[in-house]
Amino acid sequence: MGFPHTPHERETLVLSKHFGEQEAIGLDGWRKRGGYVALEKALRMEPAEIVQIVKDSGLRGRGGAGFPTGIKWSFMKPGDGKPHYLCCNADESEPGTFKDREIMRWTPHSLVEGCAIGAYAIGAEVAYIYIRGEYTEALDKMNAACREAYAAGILGTNAMGTGKTVHVYVHKGAGAYICGEETALMNSLEGRRGNPRIKPPFPAVAGLFGQPTTINNVETLVAVPHILNNGADWYKKFGRPDNPRSTGTKLFSVCGNIARPGNYEVTLGFPFKDFLYDLCGGPLKGRNFKAIIPGGISVPIQTREEAENSPMDYEGFVANGTMLGSGGVIVIDDAQNLVKHAMP
Amino acid sequence: MTANHSETAPYTPVFIGARKAELDELLTRYPTKMAALLPALWIVQEERGWVSSEGMAEVADLLDLTPAYVKGVVTFYTMYHQHPVAKHFIQVCTTSPCNVCGAEDVVKALLKHTGCGELGVQSPDGKYQVIEVECLGACGFNTPLMVNEKFIESVTPDTVPELLASLG
């Protein structure tokens, strides 16, 4: 299987630190690595405090849109008398992207913990993790992690002995690219055809089952326990000093015509040129890069020169004609016919 | 997955015993019965290998839906089989990231070595069926494919014969 690769010395391992460690998959091993410390702390905090820390950290959505996570959470109004829901988007359907799969395969409890904290922070008692049906291994791992967390009293009606209710349920998709779009995902979860909804209303007003809902990507949620454990200032340190709008580390999936495909975790703002040539080993022997799609197949394609000038963050990619998107880097070399691949 | 249920055999209910208990537990997770539809259909497919009209009707009855509604949902999603499939149902990713690395050649090799000849057509011995699918989300490990519920990565035209032999 694709992972683990040996991490490069220039990677910054936060989310992927325990990828490849068999023991980290189970609850005992995860606890030895500091698992559920953040949840225990969070359940004893006021939800608004958690939202503020996440706001201060600068964390932005890792699914593609890059919306500030703390601000998204603050749209969920406490005390409105309605049930709130958290949906974790684990559909990962954007071609070129395969990072969430690795998170779920190697560190499933990190996602259970991230979902539990997120749910509590937005006033929800239930979080659903919507995983695409094709991810059979991730589904098995996530289901097992939830079972372990319930058996250990981490989830349920007395989560970690605090008297708070936190449920996390895995929901299996059934094959539909569009269900990675958040409103289609909600329809699918409700047992409908996965057609997108028209906005407004936005999910925070009327989302899943017509109730206030937040949808977050897997990678976004797994960053939250680290932020609570280490503080917003710690998280903000990762990034370009001259760009405070992109903070933290990010997983980039790399595929296509390149020497070492795989998942790499770097700080936002990392030089894309160094990333492609140094971390990923550059082009295949005797070939050159022709074009690069840096953020999943729906973001604009870059020439080699544009890519080599890009800092790997939200603003850096925009300044060079494209977007960070989901971080799915698709590399196309000079042996390929671009017209053929653009119109299969 | 249990052996495929034929299209002509009489239908027997899926949701009895442990499978009924499983559905009852699922229903506690959602505020509506309808939300248990996708999981219930998965149970039918796990038990029978496909989702027949009778299976849809059984699910509809349990979830207070109409069979027509359930069929409408089933037909939206590509992973529910509306007919029995071959013993080894092979789904190959041919989306761009895999295609730039030669996924089409893997498909050609599969069609040749399985004897299927064409996409979607079962091999004469009923063992294999090959289809192309959109991104499987394993783009760094091309070419990925699924055989029933099993995910296999890094398949090349050269490894196809060995792969097929391993399936039995």
Cβ contact A174–B78 (<8 Å): yes
Domain B88-167 has CATH 3.40.30.10: yes
Q: Which of B139, B142, B148 would you mutate first to test chain A, the one with the most A CBs within 10 A?
A: B139
Residues A134 and A45 in one domain: yes
Instruction: State which residues form the domain around A111.
Output: 22-236
DSSP A273-327: HHIIIIIS--SPTT--EEEEE-SSTTSPPEEHHHHHT-EESHHHHHHTTS--TT-
Instruction: Look at residue B8 in the predicted model and tell me its pLDDT.
Output: 80
Whether the pLDDT of residue A42 is over 70: the answer is: yes
Kindly report, residue by residue over A268-323, the tens digit of the pLDDT.
Answer: 999 999 999 999 999 999 999 999 999 999 999 999 999 999 999 999 999 999 99
A-chain residues within 8 Å CB-CB of B149? 136
pLDDT bracket for residue A139 (50, 70, 90): very high
B79 and B38 in contact (C-beta within 8 Å)?
A: no
Q: Please check whether residue A14 lies inside any domain of the structure.
A: no
Q: Does B64 touch chain A (CB under 8 A)?
A: no
Residues A104 and A197 in one domain: yes
Residues A187 and A147 in one domain: yes
Looking at residue A329, which CATH number applies to its domain?
A: 3.10.20.600
Instruction: Look at residue A3 in the predicted model and tell me its pLDDT.
Output: 60
Residues A258 and A216 in one domain: no
Contacts of B105 (CB under 8 A, 6+ apart): B156, B157
pLDDT bracket for residue A343 (50, 70, 90): low
pLDDT bracket for residue A21 (50, 70, 90): very high
Q: Please check whether residue A4 lies inside any domain of the structure.
A: no
Number of independent structural domains in chain A: 2
Please tell me which of the candidates B38, B72, B141 has its beta carbon nearest to residue A174: B38
Contacts of A9 (CB under 8 A, 6+ apart): none
Q: How large is the average pLDDT for residues A67-81?
A: 97
Residues A200 and A56 in one domain: yes
Whether the pLDDT of residue A191 is over 80: the answer is: yes
* Residue type for position B80: Y
Assigned token pair, A223: 């960053």
pLDDT bracket for residue B4 (50, 70, 90): low
Q: Give the other-Cβ count within 10 Å of A47's Cβ.
A: 19
Residues A143 and A183 in one domain: yes
Instruction: Name the residue ranges covered by the structural domains of chain B.
Output: 1-84, 88-167
* Residue type for position B11: Y
* Angle between helix A99-106 and A218-230 (nearest 10): 60
Nearest in space to A170 (alpha carbons), one of A155, A184, A158 = A155
| Sheet arrangement for strand A289-293 | A262-267, A249-256, A328-333, A289-293, A302-303
B-chain residues within 8 Å CB-CB of A133? 42, 77, 79
Q: Nearest residue on chain B to A252, judged by CA atoms?
A: B140
A-chain residues within 8 Å CB-CB of B97? 95-96, 255-256, 297, 328, 330
Q: Does B146 touch chain A (CB under 8 A)?
A: yes
Q: Does B80 touch chain A (CB under 8 A)?
A: yes
Question: Last residue of a domain, which of A211, A236, A261?
Answer: A236
Residues A205 and A286 in one domain: no
Cis peptide before B143 (omega within 30 of 0): yes
Please tell me which of the candidates B77, B96, B154 has its beta carbon nearest to residue A95: B96
Instruction: Look at residue A1 in the predicted model and tell me its pLDDT.
Output: 39
Please name the residue ranges forming H helices in chain B. Answer: 18-27, 37-48, 53-62, 67-74, 96-99, 103-114, 160-167
The fraction of chain B above a pLDDT of 70, given in percent, is 97
Q: How far apart are CA A320 and CA A305, in angstroms?
A: 9
Whether the pLDDT of residue B1 is over 70: the answer is: no
Q: Which of A16, A92, A98 would you mutate first to test chain B, the one with the most B CBs within 10 A?
A: A98
Residues A186 and A261 in one domain: no
Mean pLDDT is lowest, of A148-157, A238-247, B7-16, for: B7-16
Whether the pLDDT of residue B5 is over 70: the answer is: no
Please tell me which of the candidates B29, B73, B142 has its beta carbon nearest to residue A192: B73
Q: Does B137 touch chain A (CB under 8 A)?
A: yes
Residues A90 and A199 in one domain: yes
Contacts of A197 (CB under 8 A, 6+ apart): A183, A184, A186, A187
ipTM: 0.94
pLDDT bracket for residue A340 (50, 70, 90): confident
Residues A232 and A93 in one domain: yes
Cβ contact B77–A254 (<8 Å): no
Instruction: Look at residue A222 in the predicted model and tell me its pLDDT.
Output: 98
Assigned token pair, A281: 């080993």
Q: How far apart are CA B147 and CA A255, in angstroms?
A: 22
A-chain residues within 8 Å CB-CB of B107? none
pLDDT bracket for residue B2 (50, 70, 90): very low
Whether the pLDDT of residue A48 is over 50: the answer is: yes
Whether the pLDDT of residue A233 is over 60: the answer is: yes
Residues A219 and A121 in one domain: yes
pLDDT bracket for residue A344 (50, 70, 90): low
Q: What is the mean pLDDT of chain A?
A: 96
Q: How far apart are CA B92 and CA B82, in angstroms?
A: 19
Instruction: Look at residue A310 in the predicted model and tell me its pLDDT.
Output: 98
Q: How large is the average pLDDT for residues B26-36?
A: 98
Please tell me which of the candidates A93, A133, A191 has its beta carbon nearest to residue B34: A191
Q: How far apart are CA A71 and CA A282, in angstroms?
A: 38
Q: Please check whether residue A117 lies inside any domain of the structure.
A: yes
Strand A328-333 and strand A289-293: the pairing is: antiparallel
Q: Please check whether residue A221 lies inside any domain of the structure.
A: yes
Looking at residue A206, which CATH number applies to its domain?
A: 3.40.50.11540
Q: Count residue pairs from A and B with Cβ separation < 8 A.
A: 141
Q: Give the other-Cβ count within 10 Å of B161's Cβ.
A: 12
pTM value is 0.96
Q: Does B147 touch chain A (CB under 8 A)?
A: no
Question: Last residue of a domain, which of A236, A257, A288?
Answer: A236
* Residue type for position A133: G
The more confident residue out of A109 and A1 is A109
Residues A283 and A312 in one domain: yes
Instruction: Look at residue A4 in the predicted model and tell me its pLDDT.
Output: 65
Please tell me which of the candidates A95, A193, A336 has its beta carbon nearest to residue B135: A95
A294 and A331 in contact (C-beta within 8 Å)?
A: no
Cβ contact B78–A175 (<8 Å): yes
Question: Last residue of a domain, which of A236, A263, A294?
Answer: A236
Which option is the CATH number for B1-84: 3.50.50.60, 1.10.10.1590, 1.10.730.10, 3.40.605.10? Answer: 1.10.10.1590
